[in-house]
Amino acid sequence: MTLLPPTPAQQKRIDKELAPDPEVRKQDIRTLREWLSKQPHLPNHIDDAKLERFLFNCKNSIERCKLILERYYTVRTSLPEFFAARDPLSQDIQDCFTTIECVVLPSLTEEGYRVTIFRLRNPDMEKFSVQAIVRRVLMQLDIRLLEEVCLSNIFVLDLENFSMPHIAKFIPTQSIVRRAMLAVQGSMPYRLAGVYFLHAPSFISNLTNIFYPLLKEKLTQKFYIFNGGGEELHAHLNKDILPNEWGGKAGTFRELNAAWQEKIEKNRDWFLRDEKLSRTNEKARLLESKASCVMMEFEGIQGSFRKLNID
């Protein structure tokens, strides 16, 4: 699966918003490296290209970049259920490929946004694992961080084949769901333009409301709910970048899903190596950094959820 680079028009839009200055960026990278050298609990193997992508996605804010780097490595140590045993050939990840179609579209939107589509392929509950799904999504995000930059992200959740037992597994009163949200939100240097729900059931508003304690307020304003299918996106996205089944030219869902499976498997050596390298040394963590440790957020949201009522 090739992630196509921005077109000249898309790149111009990206450059206009971020106005990159090569000399300033080099100095910013040096500043970040100096900061990393003074954080004994953090690993320092990240290369300049990846560090620059962190900075780019943090809108060139050094302080924001420091925070995300801290979170990026801390969750890998504190939430091993999502970051340990990241072998693409393991049975749970292989089952996830056949159960869930989670595809990142090759082409950017006209605005320079990257679109990810998530939908159920096989309704078999025996192979439906929240832990494996989150692990796979995070693996895809890591690959993208190695390869590309984009201005923002759009996530499309097609709920057409989801049953109540599937949806119930994502209710955040469950510890694994709360921990999954913590692993994803704020620990990756990505921005979010919108989340589109397709084939939404009547109770979807109640379901999204229960996630609000876990979400930043800005995110909750970016949810868009539709009762229809992929055709609903035509008013919001260039339909040519969508999968064939939704009137686009990107290829079929089956082809796109298989291509991403192949891409993840080709990066197997990187995942196995990174699992050992990208860890914090909590014994070496300085006192001042403990107060901002990401796991304190998890402790703070315990018991803060409203009861879900389904009409």
Dihedral sign of CA atoms 215, 208, 157, 239 in order = negative
Helix residue ranges per DSSP H, 185-290: 204-209, 217-220, 253-266, 268-277, 287-290
Would residue 310 count as lying in a domain?
A: no
Would residue 292 count as lying in a domain?
A: no
Task: For residue 127, give the 3-state DSSP assignment.
Answer: helix
Would residue 214 count as lying in a domain?
A: yes
Q: Are the CB atoms for 58 and 189 separated by under 8 Å?
A: yes
Q: Which of 255, 237, 257, 256 is nearest to 247 (CA)?
A: 237
Which structural domain, as residue segments, surrounds residue 196?
A: 7-280
Would residue 130 count as lying in a domain?
A: yes
Would residue 34 count as lying in a domain?
A: yes
pLDDT at res. 222: 87
The total number of structural domains in the chain stands at: 1
Would residue 264 count as lying in a domain?
A: yes
Side-chain half-sphere of 94: how many Cα atoms within 13 Å? 5
Domain harbouring 250, CATH code: 3.40.525.10
Query: pTM of whole model > 0.85?
Result: yes
Q: Are the CB atoms for 156 and 123 separated by under 8 Å?
A: no
- How deeply is 3 buried, as exposed, middle or buried, from its count of CB atoms within 10 A (0-12, 13-18, 19+)? middle
pLDDT at res. 34: 95
User: Long-range pairs for 21-24 at CB < 8 Å and ≥24 separation?
Assistant: none
Q: What is the pLDDT along the chain (311 residues), one digit of tens a residue?
A: 689 999 999 998 888 877 668 888 899 999 999 999 999 999 989 999 999 999 999 988 999 999 999 999 999 998 999 998 899 999 999 999 999 999 999 999 999 999 999 999 998 888 899 999 999 999 999 999 999 989 999 999 999 989 888 888 887 667 888 888 888 876 889 999 999 999 988 777 766 666 666 666 677 778 899 999 999 999 999 999 999 999 999 999 999 999 999 999 999 999 999 999 999 998 888 876 654 555 555 454 444 433 333 33
Q: Which of 36, 43, 37 is nearest to 66 (CA)?
A: 36
pLDDT at res. 286: 82
Q: Nearest 5°: phi and psi at 154?
A: -125, 130
pLDDT at res. 215: 65
Would residue 296 count as lying in a domain?
A: no
Which 3-state string (H, E, C) describes 43-108?
Answer: CCCCCHHHHHHHHHHCCCCHHHHHHHHHHHHHHHHHCHHHHCCCCCCCHHHHHHHHHEEEEECCCC
Would residue 187 count as lying in a domain?
A: yes
